[in-house]
Every structure is written in C-alpha cells, then in structure tokens.
Amino acid sequence: MEDKIKIMIVDDHEIFRGGLKLLINRLKYGKVIAEAVNGKEFLDLLELNMPDIVLMDIEMPVMNGIEATKKALERFPELKIIALTMFNDEEYVESMLDAGVKGFLLKSINKESLDKALQSVMAGKNYYSEELFQYFTKKIAHTDKTETPEIKLTQREIEIVQLSLEGLSNKEIADKLFISERTVVGHKSNLLSKTGCKSTIHLLAYVIKNKLVNL
C-alpha cells in the first residue's frame, strides 16, 4: 500500500529492531523502509530512503542519536523523529528535546504506545510516553521539597512551555515567536528557577502535573 507510513529504525541492537518491526507490522498502516545501526549510517540512508518517521535510539556507537538528530533536522527540517529512551536516560532526554525530536517512547514499548506515538506525530502533534512523564513527576515530588503550587507563568513563559510540549527546539520556538534563541534559553532558565526544576524534562512534567498550561 502506497499510503503506509514509512518508518526508519535507528538502533544498534538487532533483536530490539526485530521486535520493533514486528510491532509496526501488526499496526498494518506502517512499513519499515530502512534500518541503521548508528547515526552515521542513518544519515547516509536518508539520501536514499526518506521516511515519514524515524524511531531513533540515543546511545549508539560511531554517532549517537543526539548528534544524528541535529544533523538530520538541519538538512531536513520537516523530518519527524521519535526518540527511543530508558528511564535512566534523563540527561539524554534533555539533549534530544533541544535537538528537536517530536516525541519519546520508552524502549519497553508496547503496541498501544507505539500506535499512539505514530498517530500523534503523523498528525503534527508531539508524543511523550505517559510512563516517562509519570516517572519524572514522581521524581519531582520526591526531590523538590520547596515546590510551590501558587506559581504563575507569564504569557511568554506559557507560550514557550506550550511550544516545548509540542516538540519544538529552542531555535524553532525563537523563529515562531520572533525572538532570539538566546531569549528562549533565558526564559527557560527563569522557568527552571521559578519552579525549582532541574531540567527541561522536569519542567515539562511539572507544568503538566500542576496544569499550568492547556494541553
């Protein structure tokens, strides 16, 4: 079928790729058009096979998912990339967010989560694994003893958080709001200070938990 979603899997574990292909095949509307074992191979394959969605591992040899995502989106800004992550990949999640991925899936993925992610991203939305945000929300509750429920965000801060939740990178947010990338970074820094969060991923979990923006 020509209307199937074309998917590329980038992961250095053959068994995991095989399992992911089986899940995609069960969804009927997806087709794996290529596989890569590292970021460099992925970039080479992009010249020959342009997918609709890339499922991208973060930690890989030769070139990791963060660098590969940045390079790919510089060349093909419309490319939709979903990061494959683990609970303990917090610092990498932060970097992938900044790189411009459209979503996150835990590597303990099931058919339902994969279906939600692919459908959301193809519809132009972002997708963040519910389990991942629950994990970070619980982490906030245990580590942030000074959390203040009365925090109010400015209109600009709300816009920046909203666009971050939509999967936009700092540069994309800056372009959309007609401000500099440095200004976006400054607002995010203020937001982290205001909320007591340690990172952007904590911040996004925090605003969802406290309903500070409309989803």
Listed residue (40, 48, 47, 51) closest to 12, CA to CA: 40
Least confident residue range of 1-15, 69-83, 133-147, 191-205: 133-147
DSSP H helices, 55-212, are 65-75, 90-99, 111-122, 130-143, 155-165, 170-177, 181-195, 200-209
Q: What CATH number does the domain located at 136-209 have?
A: 1.10.10.10
What pLDDT sits at residue 145? 46
Provide the residue ranges of all domains of the chain, joining segments of one domain with +: 5-128, 136-209
Which tokens is 154 given?
Answer: 């400015």
> Superfamily for 5-128?
Response regulator (3.40.50.2300)
Summarize pLDDT for 125-184 with one digit per residue, the tens.
878 777 766 666 665 555 554 445 567 889 999 899 888 877 677 888 899 999 999 999
* Residue with token string 């992925």: 42
